[in-house]
A = this chain, B = another copy of it.
Amino acid sequence: MRRSRKDTAETRGRIVATASRLFRARGISDVSVADITSAVGLTVGAFYRHFASKDALVVEAIELASLQTTAMHAKTAPDAGRSERTQALLDSYLSVLHRDHPELGCPVAALCSEIAHHGPSTKQAFTAALQRLLVVVGSVVPGKSKQARERRLQVAASVVGALVLSRASSDPSLADELLAAVRRGVA
């Protein structure tokens, strides 16, 4: 039966939030629409009252994950010196907690290799997330010079690479080494 506008908006929000977590935890193509709706407590039919397709949801789910994680990192040690903020950012981005909980973390690291096989709108949402990550890095490597820009790209590639490889490694000590090495290398 029909729901109030407030309930409808809330349901929609819960679908996006749930999908956002599931996609980061298990990948986009391994999470079905039924997985999402049943986690929310709905049947699949209801999904299509809120979204035109799974792809449309993917775009919003990536956006939400990106906005939430960049907002979180922006709050980290806002009134400290630059080297303290750098250390704080590295410590949280390259933490064991972040590695072991992709569902709450950076969507860029969670989806980076599979995004290449998705459509333009999904890639665009991912690219926007990457741009936001570069803004976060910019809070620690500021400046408009070519060198500053280059340094931001290097830092982003390093931390994403380290986190992704740490998650993919089945050797626990190699996984930890990767995080520690890049934590020290960037600082």
Contact = CB atoms under 8 A, between A and B. Distances in A.
Interface stretch (A32-40, A52-60, A164-172): A164-172
Contact of A165 (B26, B156, B185): B156
Number of copies of this protein chain within its complex: 2
A153 B182 contact: yes
Interface in A56-91: none
Interface residues of A, number: 49
A26 to B, nearest CB: 6
Interface of A: 26-27, 29-30, 102, 108-117, 120, 123-124, 126-127, 130-131, 149-151, 153-154, 156-162, 164-165, 167-171, 174, 177-178, 180-182, 184-185
